[in-house]
């Protein structure tokens, strides 16, 4: 069994912030590359037609339900690996990482079969017109049937992050982004002897780039000394499956509740017209660049809080969560200002329709105002997950999505005829509501689920292991 050396002991907030940045910056860059991939996809697809943009957007809304399942396994693996490494139990970390990969394959195969059998029926639930439906079914089947590669991408990346390696997923995202961008151009528009494939080309580019990413991630995990695969760990064991499902089920529930609500209010947006939905989709693809900072620091918070909980250092866990949230609020406030002032200009890269450009600009101005709340929501959700508390975010998401967001989308966008602006105001109010509730509970100190954490084997304050520092970061 591999041994984990004792980590450094930060004594000041400045030292803690440096550790946070070491983990967060690669995760931010990884999310930037992943976001850029979606941005490039949307850009090229927008050159086909606005109907194609809507088809991809509708498909991604359904695929988000799959993502919820895959991400739940990844969240559980990430947290438990961080817990076990914090408790200096690398053998258990390795075992549960392999169990999560097996579960990822199983869920990927199941969702692939569902896509094969019910692709058209699932998209029809969105109430889209026949032109968008035809393109959507074509795209959905190509991307969704091999969804095992999506599942593996989520879980394999989460395993590396749980071990404190945020750099490798970043590098692999860079490769995936490059592969996808080149294939998008070649397959969508044709090149030399390759025919023009349109939306089929966009789907094939996405699948192939994910396949490349999955293979690369698998290879790098097996190179890690702490996580190197063992043959006898591939057989599913009830104990580890229960650990993953107990922690992952609420995370899956949170995302499923969100996606189910999203599908409902997407139906309201579709009712506003194809141009309105295309504007919503394009605005979302622009806005998501602001999410990269939140996701990066949420990743750092999950890892560091998880390791501190595993080591039994509760006050350190709180300090890392608080510092991560504070830094992210400042960063995302700046990004919010950029969305507010430059959103209209960025929209012109996607369409020359003045009404669509105006709608996109309005949506991004509203988004910019709510960015500080989004920062709190994202980072504290990651901290709660690191503290093994996935249930409370699930309950809060259910209330926010159904009692706040979906209801307000209907009232503001449909009943009061605010259109797309009403949709984005409703989303912002939901984000602010959940951020405030998470912050209040965090401030009161009852945000950890301590009964879930493994017992540490020695007194320590791990942030990440010296081994991980030297091989993955070369810093601190």
**Residues 369-381: tens digit of each pLDDT:** 999 999 999 999 9
The pLDDT assigned to 337 comes to 92
pLDDT of residue 464: 33
pLDDT of the residue at 375: 94
Higher pLDDT, 182 or 350: 182
Mean pLDDT to the nearest integer, 195-223? 86
- pLDDT at residue 369 in the model: 93
For 137-153, the pLDDT digits (tens) are 888 889 889 989 989 98
Question: What's the average model confidence in pLDDT over 352-368?
Answer: 87
Q: What is the pLDDT of residue 443?
A: 92
Q: Is the pLDDT of residue 245 over 90?
A: no
DSSP 3-state percent helix, strand, coil across the chain (nearest 5): 80, 0, 20
Q: Which two tokens stand for residue 449?
A: 């689920």
| pLDDT confidence of residue 226 | 67
Question: Rounded to an integer, what distance in angstroms lies between the CA atom of residue 205 and that of residue 198?
Answer: 11
Contact 13, 319 (CB under 8 A): yes
Quickly state the pLDDT bin for 211 (edges 50, 70, 90): very high
Per DSSP, 378 falls in state H
Closest to 254 in 3D by CA, of 383, 400, 387, 439: 400
Q: pLDDT digit string (tens) for 383-393? A: 998 888 888 98
Q: pLDDT tens-digit profile of 384-435?
A: 988 888 889 888 998 998 889 989 989 998 889 888 889 999 999 999 999 9
How far, in Å, are 78, 146, 212, 448, 469 from residue 247 at the CA level? Answer: 11, 26, 29, 13, 27
Q: What is the pLDDT of residue 38?
A: 64
CA 176 – CA 5 distance, rounded (Å): 33
Task: Write down the pLDDT at residue 466.
Answer: 31
Given a cut of 80, whether residue 438 has pLDDT beyond it is: yes
Average pLDDT over residues 301-313: 84
- Which H helix or E strand runs over 29? helix 13-46
Look at 37 and 234; give whichever has higher pLDDT: 234
Q: Residue 18: is its pLDDT beyond 80?
A: yes
Tokens in use for 107? 């869920």
- How much is the average pLDDT of 355-364? 87
pLDDT-derived band of residue 3, with 50, 70 and 90 as boundaries? very low
β-bridge mates for residue 194, sequence order: 191
Whether pLDDT at 74 is above 80: yes
What pLDDT is attached to residue 450? Answer: 61
Convert the pLDDT of each residue in 28-68 to its tens digit.
887 777 666 666 776 777 777 777 777 787 787 778 778 87
Mean confidence (pLDDT) of the chain:
80
Q: What percent of the chain has pLDDT over 90?
A: 19
d(CA 37, CA 31) in angstroms, rounded, equals 10
């Amino acid at each position: 069994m591999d041994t984990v050396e004792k980590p450094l002991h930060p004594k000041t907030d400045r030292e803690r912030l440096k550790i946070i940045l070491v983990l967060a910056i690669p995760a931010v860059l990884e999310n930037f590359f992943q976001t850029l991939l979606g941005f490039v996809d949307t850009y090229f697809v927008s050159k086909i037609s606005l109907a194609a943009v809507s088809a991809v957007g509708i498909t991604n809304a359904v695929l988000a339900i799959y993502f919820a399942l895959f991400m739940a396994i990844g969240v559980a693996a990430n947290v438990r690996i961080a817990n076990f490494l914090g408790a200096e139990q690398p053998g258990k970390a390795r075992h549960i990482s392999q169990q999560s990969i097996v579960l990822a394959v199983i869920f990927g195969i199941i969702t692939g079969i569902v896509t094969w059998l019910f692709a058209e029926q699932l998209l029809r639930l969105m109430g889209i017109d026949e032109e968008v439906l035809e393109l959507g079914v074509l795209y959905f089947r190509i991307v969704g049937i091999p969804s095992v590669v999506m599942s593996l991408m989520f879980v394999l990346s989460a395993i590396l992050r749980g071990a404190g390696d945020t750099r490798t997923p970043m590098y692999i995202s860079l490769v995936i982004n490059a592969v996808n961008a080149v294939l998008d151009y070649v397959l969508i528009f044709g090149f030399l002897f390759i025919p023009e494939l349109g939306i089929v080309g966009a789907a094939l580019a996405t699948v192939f780039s994910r396949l490349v990413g999955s293979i690369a991630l698998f290879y790098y995990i097996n190179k890690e000394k702490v996580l190197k695969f063992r043959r006898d760990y591939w057989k599913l064991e009830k104990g580890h499956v229960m650990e993953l499902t107990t922690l992952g089920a609420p995370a899956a529930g949170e995302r499923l509740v969100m996606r189910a609500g999203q599908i409902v209010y997407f139906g309201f947006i579709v009712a506003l017209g194809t141009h309105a939905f295309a504007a919503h989709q394009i605005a979302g693809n622009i806005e998501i660049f602001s999410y990269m900072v939140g996701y990066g620091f949420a990743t750092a918070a999950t890892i560091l809080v998880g390791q501190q909980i595993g080591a039994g250092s509760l006050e350190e866990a709180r300090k890392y969560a608080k510092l991560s949230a504070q830094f992210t609020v400042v960063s995302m406030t700046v990004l919010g200002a950029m969305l507010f002032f430059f959103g209209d200009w960025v929209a012109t890269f996607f369409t020359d329709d003045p009404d669509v450009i105006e709608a996109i600009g309005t949506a991004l101005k509203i988004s910019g105002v709510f960015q500080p709340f989004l920062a709190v929501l994202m980072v504290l959700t990651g901290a709660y997950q690191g503290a093994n508390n996935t249930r409370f975010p699930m309950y809060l998401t259910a209330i926010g999505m159904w009692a706040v967001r979906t209801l307000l989308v209907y009232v503001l966008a449909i009943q009061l005829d605010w259109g797309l602006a009403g949709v984005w105001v409703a989303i912002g109010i939901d984000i602010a509501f959940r951020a405030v509730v998470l912050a209040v509970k965090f401030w009161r100190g009852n945000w950890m689920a301590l009964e879930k954490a493994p017992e540490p084997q020695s007194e320590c304050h791990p942030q990440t292991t010296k081994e991980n520092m030297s091989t993955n970061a070369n810093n601190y």
